[in-house]
Amino acid sequence: MIDFRTHPDRYRHWRLSVDGSVATLALAVAEDGGLRPGYSLKLNSYDLGVDIELYDAVQRLRFEHPEVGAVVLTSGLDRVFCAGANIGMLAGASHGEKVNFCKFTNETRLGIEDASGYSGLKWICAINGTAAGGGYELALAADWIVMADDGSTAVSLPELPLLAVLPGTGGLTRLVDKRGVRRDRADVFCTTEEGVRGRRAVDWRLVDAVVPRSRLMETAYEKARDLAAQGGAKDSRRIELKTLERDIAENSIDYGVLRVEMDRDGGVATITVRAPEGDLPKDVAGIHAQGCDFWPLALARALDDTILHLRTNEPRLGVWILASEGDTDAVVAADTLLIDHTDDRLVRETRLYLKRVFKRLDVSSRSLIARIESGSCFAGTLFELVLAADRSYMLDGALEGDNRPPATIRLTAMNCGVLPMGNGLSRLAARFLDDAEGQAAAEAAMGRDLDAAEAEALGLVTFIPDDLDWEEELRIAVEERASFSPDALSGMEANLRFAGPETMETKIFGRLTAWQNWIFQRPNAVGETGALGRYGTGLKVEFDKRRV
């Protein structure tokens, strides 16, 4: 089982240090530290384990180091920045493992850009040696790139000529969309094994500056201090991201704020989120006192780990049922804290974390079905789960013998743009794309408890079975879903979930990922005579030259 929980004390591949307003994150990969046997992480190449540590470091910088305004990203090895994803790891990985690896790596790099765009945490990349493939893609996530001008240090995206695959973590998209590299130059760059160095790299906008090796780190830290100063004074209050507690049994996982039940025979995982229990904080001081136990932050951490665990360790659980239980008013009270204290750094970071977690749910290749019944508490932040679902079922009335009141839903301001999707739209706006009247009617009902009939009339749920049909309709829906081709479902869901405008993020997870997934299954890349299998063997690759 792959565990996504870690701590700087346990890092094997990254060195995190802080000096005032500037942090340094240096990559020094332990060659024998791969997640699985059979490959060596030479030349600062990485696997999923390396990126798990990077993700943890980014999270800790945002929550535990409020004094930091800039991060210098560099290598801890001499004359090697990063050789990218480890080829031996990719060659030996299953298709699903490769896809999950690329997806998580993409999410982590987008998290770096999110920290820059919304938290004022600027990133400077100091390339002190070869930056190839995923190594250069890591650099592309930074705000500013400086490279040693020593005649040998270069940047490259050699995946196509060397491995018959694509740069899998956003390199193609960031070249043209983020850095504005001309298309013809990008074409040359992506088909050149040796890459580009020196002044040409600056002229082509592949990096921002080149300096003599002796001045590389000095230049990087000067830029970092300047960017950190531009961000102004920092909030000195920090919180510790304590080890995420969870109780894993054979068929369940319990985090306290949510529980996962796994039906492996049926291919179903039921994720039940629990409303806050006990007293919520009264003010910002109370929020900081609770720290990572503050319910919205605890929810974000638990849901994040749940998604990653199920995606990576339970690939046969293709249907996720999203449920909730508890006091709706408590959920709304937590939302009110998030809305009323937007100027507080911890509240802001919690909102941004929730945004990123729901985005991770959006791009998970699983069928999402929301179940709304008596005792549910789908309001505000938790109603985002319903909006993220591929379809939703809301019980009209109550089941026989259940003395709880009928189910209701409630919208809050958290549903109106605070937690946008990768396309920049709120899930409510995406639901009512080109239906301004429908969206306005839904927003006008904000703050009211809506029963099943009104929720359906407003277009906020899919079906509202009564007590006679409730169990049967849900059973049929889940069994039908589990009977379909998982590949076709993944394609259908990904196309339907992201209506509306396209962004760099949707291109990475849609256009780029779709092509890479296909290429990862083609013999030219992964066959017996393909490029991944023969890389480094001295044997010539044999391509099927037909275009399809």
Q: For residue 27, give the 3-state DSSP assignment.
A: strand
Summarize pLDDT for 296-351 with one digit per residue, the tens. Answer: 999 999 999 999 999 999 999 999 999 999 999 999 999 999 999 999 999 999 99
- Same domain assignment for residues 213 and 280: no
Q: How many Cα atoms occupy the beta-carbon half-sphere of 187 within 13 Å?
A: 3
Tens digit of each residue's pLDDT (9 = 90 or more) over 28-38: 999 999 999 99
Residues 217 and 272 in one domain: no
Q: List pLDDT tens digits, range 290-307.
A: 999 999 999 999 999 999
Task: For residue range 398-407, list pLDDT tens digits in order.
Answer: 999 999 999 9
Query: What pLDDT shows up at residue 286?
Result: 96
CATH of the domain at 72: 3.90.226.10
Backbone angles phi, psi at 361, to 5 degrees: -65, -40
Q: How far apart (Å, rounded) are the C-alpha atoms in residues 172 and 450? A: 45
Domain that holds residue 306: 247-495
Is residue 357 within 8 Å of residue 303, measured between CB atoms?
A: yes
Specify the pairing of strand 144-148 against strand 122-127: parallel
> Are 87 and 19 part of one and the same domain?
yes
pLDDT digits (tens, 9 = 90+) for 134-178: 999 999 999 999 999 999 999 999 999 998 999 988 999 999 999
- What percentage of residues in the chain have a pLDDT greater than 70? 100
Q: What is the pLDDT of residue 513?
A: 84
- Rounded CA separation 15/50 (Å): 12
Residue 418 has pLDDT above 70, yes or no: yes
Q: What pLDDT, on a 0 to 100 scale, did the predictor assign at position 157?
A: 97
Predicted pLDDT of residue 295: 98
96 and 192 in a single domain? The answer is yes
Question: CA-CA distance, 190 to 86, in Å (whole number)?
Answer: 19
Residue 369 has pLDDT above 80, yes or no: yes
Task: Give the neighbor-by-neighbor strand order of the sheet with 258-263.
Answer: 247-248, 252-254, 258-263, 268-274, 319-325, 367-372, 391-394
Write the DSSP string, 299-319. HHHHHHHHHHHHHHH-TT--E
Residue 380 lies in a domain: yes
Helix (H, G, I), strand (E, B) or coil at 56: helix
Nearest one of 163, 189, 191 to 174, comparing CA atoms:
189
Domain count, the chain: 2
135 plus 268 within the same structural domain: no
Look at residue 475 and tell me if it is in a domain.
yes
Average pLDDT of the residues in 188-213: 97
254 and 206 within one domain: no
Whether 222 shows a pLDDT value over 80: the answer reads yes
Same domain? For 265 and 122 the reply is no
Within a domain: 236: no
Residues 440, 338 within the same domain: yes
| Same-domain status, 211 and 278 | no
In what helix (H) or strand (E) does residue 155 lie, and over which residues does it extend? strand 154-156
SS (H, E, C) 167-188: CCCCHHHHHHHHCCCCHHHHHH
* pLDDT of 63 strictly over 90: yes
Residue 156 confidence (pLDDT) = 97
CA distance 519 to 138: 22
Please state whether 61 falls in left (phi above 0), alpha (psi between -120 and 50) or beta: alpha
**Residue 500: inside a domain:** no
Do 134 and 173 fall into the same domain? yes
Dump pLDDT digits (tens) for 233-243.
677 788 999 99
Residue that terminates a domain, selected from 230, 259, 276: 230
In a domain, residue 532? The reply is no
> Per residue in 444-489, pLDDT tens?
999 999 999 999 999 999 999 999 999 999 999 999 999 999 999 9
| CA distances for 174 relative to 143, 157, 165, 206, 513, angstroms | 12, 12, 17, 10, 14
51-84 exposure pattern, b = at least 16 Cβ within 10 A, e = fewer: bbbbbbbbbbbbbebbbbbbbbbbbbbeebbbbb
Structure tokens at 403: 């003395």
Same domain, 226 and 266: no
Q: At what angle do helices 95-119 and 48-64 cross, to 10 degrees?
A: 20
Tell me whether residue 506 is in a domain.
no
Q: Mean of the per-residue pLDDT values for the chain?
A: 95
Answer with the residue of higher pLDDT: 522 or 124.
124
Q: What is the pLDDT of residue 233?
A: 67
Q: Write down the pLDDT at residue 168.
A: 86
Looking at 495, 519, 534, the residue that finishes a domain is 495
Last residue of a domain, one of 230, 263, 290: 230
Of 526 and 548, more confident: 526
Share of the chain above pLDDT 90, in %: 89
